[in-house]
Amino acid sequence: MVYDPSRLIDRRFHRHPDGPVVSTNERHVLRALQREPGLSRADLTGQFDLTQQSLHRIVEQLANRGMIRMGPPKSSSGRGQPSPTLFLQPSFAHSWGISLNAETLGIALMDFAGNLVADELHVLRSHSQSAVLTLASQRMAELSLRHRLDREACLGVGFGIVGYWVEGTRFAPPLTLRDWAMVDLGPLLSGWFNRPVWVENTANTAAVAEAFLGAGRRIPTFAHISMNHWLGSGLIQNGELWSGGNNNAGEFFSLYESEPRVRHPALKRLMELMHDDGLKVDTMSDILQGVDASRPAVTRWITEALPGFNRLLAALWSVFDPQAVVLGGQLPPVLAQMLIDGAKLPILRRYDIPRRAPKLLISDLGPNVAALGAAVFPLRVSAF
């Protein structure tokens, strides 16, 4: 049987024993409240093709299930009693996010309202399955105690792993993660955590975090570039993850394999240059602790990285045509700004009208964005 984490969601979360967690219309209401907390029933009536009676019934059902709560009414100049404001109920459920990169393990805890309760980024001493899963379990147990979580309120776990998709829940990660290569991760992790587990690559989970919590709240179609030890990209089209025909859309490594003169613009090379410059830089954490933009190694990395970065931008613009390209991952903001300042896109103009180019933005979600996005997956798939 094909692994499907949605079938493993605890029945307490379902509308009916054999039905989904929410109906289509309930999902619309919950997503609207996630985007804009404090809407009233009157506000929602104007957004959806629903009668006032139907919307009132949906809101009442969601409130009775503990998914939303009523707030103070908005002041109204019209006749009748003002409509109460509506908010997602954080305690209804929570989800975990785990991201496994070449050298780090990210952990994130999120409540039902999309609030980040906790996040941690750990440098790995061992990449074996047992070592990584033991560390993740220990930290999750400690955070559960600290935040007094109800274990039964756990909706599920999102797991992001660096590497490209092969089939099912099998991925091809870098050699440092060879213990995880071609393993059917869904059943393995669901058995380990005793919860449904959604598995994706880290570039896609980072893009989902940006769509749910960051730039995607105002920009529906964008590309998120995750710059870590390696480089990946996740694509969001009209608010939804676009995975492509073979589930590897955004896997741009092939742009650089055929032409070694154009360097792959990732942070592994920066670490090498900083080490040659006499700096003790052994992990991404060393870079994140502070980068002196005036160092020769940084200047050289920017010079080397810009041709490859511009090639990536041109490919995204030509094929995907995003409204924005968001730079994130473990790339320090000061370096992201230097890349943006040096970026060059072809100037296309006809009839004195230029072709619209994407905005270049810097993510404000921090270096643990892949784990944040992994935590979003159980919420987004089941309720939003």
CA dist., res. 51 & res. 156, Å (int): 34
Same domain flag for 360 and 239:
yes
Average pLDDT over residues 11-20: 86
Same domain, 271 and 320: yes
Domain co-membership, 352 together with 233: yes
Number of domains forming the structure of the chain: 3
Does the pLDDT value for residue 42 go beyond 60? yes
Six-digit token string for 104: 């780090």
Confirm if 337 and 235 have CB atoms less than 8 A apart: no
Q: Are 186 and 197 in contact (CB under 8 A)?
A: yes
Average pLDDT score over residue span 4-10: 93
Q: Which domain holds residue 201?
A: 94-209+370-382
Residue 275 is encoded by which pair of tokens? 């080490």
Neighbour tally for 314: CB within 10 Å: 14
Q: Are 191 and 103 in the same domain?
A: yes
User: Do 329 and 229 fall within a single domain?
Assistant: yes
Query: Are residues 339 and 230 located together in one domain of the fold?
Result: yes
Query: Which of 68, 88, 108 lies at the terminal end of a domain, its last residue?
Result: 88
Of the pLDDT bands very low, low, confident and very high (cuts 50, 70, 90), residue 33 is very high
> Of the candidates 88, 106, 133, which is a domain's last residue?
88
Q: What is the mean pLDDT of the chain?
A: 91
Q: Where are the beta strands (DSSP E) in the chain?
A: 68-73, 84-88, 94-100, 104-111, 116-123, 154-161, 164-167, 170-172, 197-201, 222-227, 231-237, 240-241, 324-329, 349-350, 353-354, 359-362
Listed residues 38, 59, 88: the one ending a domain: 88
Residue 43 has pLDDT above 80, yes or no: yes
Interval 261-280 mean pLDDT: 81
- Residue range 211-229, pLDDT digits in tens: 999 999 999 999 999 998 8
Same-domain status, 56 and 128: no
pLDDT tens-place string over residues 88-109: 999 999 999 999 998 899 999 9
For 281-293, write each residue's pLDDT tens digit. Answer: 777 777 767 678 8
Structure tokens at 273: 């240059």
pLDDT tens digits for 221-268? 999 999 988 889 999 999 999 999 999 998 887 777 766 666 778 888
Report the alpha-carbon distance of residue 77 to residue 80 in Å, rounded.
Answer: 9
Q: What is the CB neighbour count within 10 angstroms for residue 126?
A: 11
Instruction: Give the domain CATH number at 205.
Output: 3.30.420.40
Same domain, yes or no: 363 and 377: no
pLDDT score recorded for residue 259: 64
Which of 231, 198, 229 has the alpha carbon at shortest distance from 374?
198
- 111 and 81 in one domain? no
* 168 plus 303 within the same structural domain: no
Spell 2-22 as b/e; 16+ CB within 10 A means b: ebebeeebeeebeeeeeebbb
**What's residue 304's pLDDT?**
92
Which residues lie across from 360 on neighbouring strands?
A: 325
**For the segment 185-196, what is each residue's pLDDT rounded down to a tens digit?**
999 999 999 999
Do 175 and 285 fall within a single domain? no
Query: 263: buried, middle or exposed (CB in 10 Å: 19+, 13-18, 0-12)?
Result: middle
Tell me the CA distances in angstroms from 134 to 99, 142, 189, one per residue in order: 14, 12, 12
Average pLDDT of span 70-85: 76
